[in-house]
Structures are given as C-alpha cells and as structure tokens.
C-alpha cells in the first residue's frame, strides 16, 4: 500500500524538492500528496506545482499568535488529503503537543545540526562559536519537545578554518538533500533503523 506523504515548508523548499523527486524516481513506497506552506510567497510552492504536487497555504499571520487555531487550520488541510506521513522540511513554525501528538511516529523533521547538539536556531553559528571540528544534519521523528525526537539518520560534514555560517550551512544543506530522501525512502518501507551517512 503506497504511503501518502504531506510536506510542510516555509521557504525555498530545497529539501521538499529532493523528497518529491526521490518519490517520483520509482521504487519508492511513498507518493507526495500535498506541499503546504505557511506563507503564500514561499518559493517552494511553485517548485511543488511544477513537480505536479498539489499545494496549499495556511498563513500563520492572520491567527495572530493563536497557535491552536493555526494548527487546526493546518490539520484541516491534511484531513482533505489523508496523508500517512508528514514531513517538515524547512518549516519554521513551532508545533505544539495538540498538533504533534496524533502524528507521533509518523512525522519527520530535518534539523541542521548533529542533534542533540544545537536544538533551535542559528545552529551553524553556534557550531563555529564552539570550535567544533564537525557539524551536520539530523532527520528525527517529531515529538512535542522541540528538535528532540528519536533520530532516524544523521550526516556529518567537516568544519574548515575560516568557515562562515553561510559556508557551513551550504555544506550541510548538500548533505540534507542526500539524507532526508534516503531516510524517507526507508521509513516509508517500514525501516526505522538509524542511517548514518
Ligand atoms: C535548511 O537548512 C533546513 O535544515 C532547515 O531549513 C533550511 C531551509 O530548508 N530546516 P529548505 O531549503 O526550505 O528545504
């Protein structure tokens, strides 16, 4: 039974594109059924449409901080397409327990650090400030605690002298684009053993 995947984005959606392209490449247990953004200007929406994936927008701003109402609107869009798996890919809104709990075990996220190091924002600058010799990205199951769920995969990159946060972000992003599709392909096939690239 092909698994139905919805993907949440907030911006360019480069991770979303790789996930969709890999699902469309064949031999994959999942198919993309929705790309949803919290901003109508998100560049990833056009990319998703060009790949033939239905899109939706639920702008968080009209909800003026009413997280529960925003999350109910998100869930209403998901109810329309009945996904089996939800992937967060560059989605920059915090989701609370009331949204996450029903999805626990079926909701994935990619975070640009080697969790549990550097939960939250500005991960590349923090790794540089700490003088880390390596950095990377993590795909994990989403739980109500931010950036904290069981790890499904990690990819590592070296940190070079003189790296700026942008240099490091670009190096990590190339690994994200390999790791997330590989993890989703396995996850959709029922494999949850950790993948380290
Ligand atoms: C990526 O660095 C990702 O790790 C983070 O958001 C950034 C943008 O992702 N979650 P994308 O290009 O929108 O997929």
CATH number of 1-103: 3.40.50.170
Domain boundaries, the chain: 1-103, 110-197
Could you give phi then psi for residue 45, rounded to 5 degrees?
-65, -45
Sequence-ordered list of residues with C-beta below 8 angstroms from that of 20, at least 6 positions apart, any chain: 7, 32, 35, 48, 51, 53
**98 pLDDT higher than 90:** yes
Q: What percent of the chain has pLDDT over 70?
A: 100
**Ligand 1, pocket residues at CB < 6 Å:** 9, 11-16, 89-90, 110, 112, 173, 176
The closest-lying atom of ligand 1 relative to the alpha carbon of residue 44 is 13
The closest-lying atom of ligand 1 relative to the alpha carbon of residue 11 is 13
In the predicted model, what is the mean pLDDT of the chain? Answer: 97
Identical topology for domains 1-103 and 110-197: yes
Mean pLDDT of 61-74: 96
| Structure confidence at residue 107 as a pLDDT band (50, 70, 90) | very high
* pLDDT reported for residue 161: 96
Q: How far is the CA of 15 from the centre of ligand 1 (A)?
A: 6
Could you give phi then psi for residue 114, rounded to 5 degrees?
-90, 80
Question: Which pTM value belongs to this model?
Answer: 0.96
* pLDDT reported for residue 182: 98
CATH number of 110-197: 3.40.50.170
3-class DSSP state of 45? helix
pLDDT per residue as tens digits for the range 9-37: 999 999 999 999 999 999 999 999 999 99
* pLDDT reported for residue 65: 87
Complete DSSP assignment for 122-190: -HHHHHHHTT-SEEEEEEEE--SSTT-S-EEEEEEEE--TT--HHHHHHHHHHHHHHHHHHHHHHHHTT
What is Dmax (Cα atoms) for the chain? 49
157, 172 Cβ separation under 8 angstroms = yes
Sequence-ordered list of residues with C-beta below 8 angstroms from that of 171, at least 6 positions apart, any chain: 135, 157, 158, 163
3-class DSSP state of 107? strand
- Respond yes or no: is residue 111 known to be catalytic: yes
Q: Which one is catalytic: 28, 111, 135, 140?
A: 111
């Amino acid at each position: 039974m092909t698994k139905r995947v919805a993907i949440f984005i907030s911006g360019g959606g480069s991770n979303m594109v790789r996930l969709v392209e890999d699902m469309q490449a064949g031999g994959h247990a999942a198919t993309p059924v929705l790309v949803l953004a919290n901003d109508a200007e998100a560049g990833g929406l056009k990319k998703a449409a060009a790949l033939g994936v239905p899109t939706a927008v639920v702008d968080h701003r009209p909800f003026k901080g009413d997280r529960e109402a925003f999350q109910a609107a998100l869930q209403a869009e998901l109810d329309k397409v009945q996904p089996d798996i939800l992937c967060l890919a560059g989605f920059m809104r915090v989701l609370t327990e009331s949204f996450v709990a029903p999805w626990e075990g079926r909701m994935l996220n990619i975070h640009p650090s080697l969790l549990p190091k550097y939960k939250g924002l500005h991960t590349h600058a923090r790794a540089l400030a700490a003088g880390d010799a390596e950095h990377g990205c993590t795909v994990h199951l989403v739980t109500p605690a931010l950036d904290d769920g069981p790890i499904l995969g990690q990819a590592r990159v070296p940190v070079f002298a003189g790296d700026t946060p942008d240099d490091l972000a670009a190096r990590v992003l190339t690994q994200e684009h390999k790791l997330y599709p590989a993890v989703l392909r396995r996850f959709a096939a029922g494999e949850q053993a950790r993948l380290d690239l």
